[in-house]
Structure 1
Amino acid sequence: MGRQSPEPLARRLTHHIESAYHENDSEAKSTPPEVINDASPSTIRSPANSRAMDALKQLFCGGMAGSVAKTITAPLSRLTILYQVHPMVTTKENRPKFSMTLSGGISKIVERGGILSLWKGNGTSVLHRFPFSAINFYCYEGMLDILNPQRDADDDEDINDDTREESKFSRLIAGGVAGCTACVACYPLDLVRTRLTTQLDGQEHYKGITDAFVKIVRNEGFWGLYSGIGPTLMVAVPSFSISYMVYGSLKEYALEDELFYNLRKIDTKTGEEKLGFKLSLMCGAVSGTLSTLVTFPFDTIRRRMQIQSLHYAPGERLTGIQMIAKLLKKDGIKGFYRGLTPEILKVVPMVGSMFTVYEFMKDRLNVK
Structure 2
Amino acid sequence: MKEEEEATHALTNITPIQQMMASSAGALITSLFVTPLDVVKIRLQAQSKPFTKGKCFVYCNGLMDHLCVCMNGNSKAWYKAPPGRFAGTADAFVQIIRNEGVRSLWSGLPPTLVMAIPATAIYFTCYDQLRDLLIHRMDNTEAACLIAGATARLGSATLISPLELIRTKMQSRPLSYRELTLCIRSSVANEGWLSLWKGWGPTILRDVPFSALYWYNYELVRKWLCQRYNQTETTLKISFAAGAVSGSIAAVVTLPFDVVKTRRQVELGELEVLQSSQKRTSSTWKIMYMIMSENGFRGLFAGLIPRLIKIAPACAIMISSYEFGKAFFRKLNSERQLKVL
- TM-score class, shorter: 0.7 to 0.9
1:254/1:191 Cα in 2 relative to 1: closer, same or farther (>3 Å)?
A: same
Q: Structure 1 pair 281/231, CA: closer, same or farther in 2 (3 Å)?
A: same
In the alignment, the residues of structure 2 paired with residue 280 and residue 207 of structure 1 have an alpha-carbon distance, to the nearest angstrom, of 42
What are the superposed Cα offsets for residues 82-123 of structure 1, whole Å, 9 maximum, x if unpaired?
Answer: 11111337569xx99941122210111112221111111011
Q: Is the 8 A contact 1:124 1:209 kept in 2?
A: no
Partner of 1:142: 129
Contact 1:234–1:298 (8 Å) recurs in 2:
yes
State the partner residue of 1:15.
none
Tell me by how many angstroms 1:220 deviates: 3.6
Matched, 1:311 2:260: no
Q: Report the equivalent of 1:157.
A: none
Residue 148 of structure 1: SS of its match in structure 2?
helix
CA contact (8 A) 2:165 2:197 kept: yes
SS in 2 for 1:117: helix
Whether 1:277 aligns to 2:236 is yes
- Following the alignment from structure 2 to structure 1, what is the Cα–Cα distance between the partners of residues 43 and 244? 23
Show the counterpart of 1:301.
Answer: 260
What residue is the counterpart of 1:335 in the other structure? 299
Whole-Å Cα distance in 2 between the matches of residues 114 and 220 of structure 1?
Answer: 35
Aligned equivalents of 1:114, 1:165: Cα separation in 2: 54
Q: Any stretches of 5+ residues in structure 2 without a counterpart?
A: 1-9, 57-81, 334-341
Aligned partners of 2:192, 2:265: CA distance in 1, in Å? 14
The correspondence for 2:309, drawn from 332, 342, 345, is 345
Are 2:15 and 1:69 equivalent residues in the alignment?
no
Partner residue, 2:216: 245
TM-score, normalization by structure 2: 0.77
Q: Structure 1 112/216 Cα, relative in aligned 2: closer, same or farther at 3 Å?
A: farther
Matched, 1:59 2:30: no
**Equivalent of residue 125 in structure 1, options 101, 109, 112:** 112
Mapping 1:185-204, distance limit 5 Å: 185-200=159-174, 204=175
C-alpha displacement at 1:210, in angstroms? 6.2
Can you list the C-alpha shifts for 1:255-301, whole angstroms capped at 9, x where unaligned? 2x1x313xx5xxxxxxxx43223212210111000000110000000
**Structure 2 match to 1:286:** 245
Q: Structure 2 vs 1, CA of residues 216 and 60 (structure 1 numbering), >3 Å: closer, same or farther?
A: farther
Query: CA–CA distance in 2 between the matches of 1:97 and 1:172?
Result: 43
- Secondary structure of 2:233's counterpart equals strand
**Is this contact kept in 2: 1:87–1:96, CA < 8 A?**
no
Q: Percent identity?
A: 25
* Amino acid aligned to 1:318: T
Q: Does 1:87 align with 2:34?
A: no
| Structure 2 partner of 1:176 | 150
Q: Deviation of residue 211 (structure 1)?
A: 6.3
Residues 129-187 of structure 1, C-alpha deviations (whole Å, 9 max, x = no match): 1111111111111211221117xxxxxxxxxxxxx965221111111101111100111
Could you tell me which amino acid in structure 1 is paired with residue 45 of structure 2? Q
Amino acid at match of 2:127: Y
Counterpart CA distance in 1 for 2:320 and 2:292 is 38
Q: Which residue pairs with 1:365 in the alignment?
A: 329
Structure 2: how far apart are the matches of 1:56 and 1:282? 27
Q: Tell me, in whole angstroms, the C-alpha distance in 2 between the residues paired with 1:309 and 1:355.
A: 33
- Kindly provide the amino acid, as one letter, of the partner of residue 66 in structure 1: A
Question: Where do 5+ consecutive residues of structure 1 fail to align?
Answer: 1-46, 151-163, 265-272
CA drift at 1:238: 0.2
Q: Whole-Å Cα distance in 2 between the matches of residues 327 and 111 of structure 1?
A: 29
After TM superposition, the score normalised by the length of structure 1 is 0.72
Q: Is the CA contact 1:281–1:353 (under 8 Å) kept in the aligned structure 2? A: yes
**Distance in 2 separating the partners of 1:61 and 1:213:** 33
Q: May I ask how many residue pairs the two structures share in their alignment?
A: 291
Does the aligned pair in 1 maintain the 2:240–2:319 contact within 8 Å?
A: yes
Contact 1:124 1:192 in 2 (8 A): yes
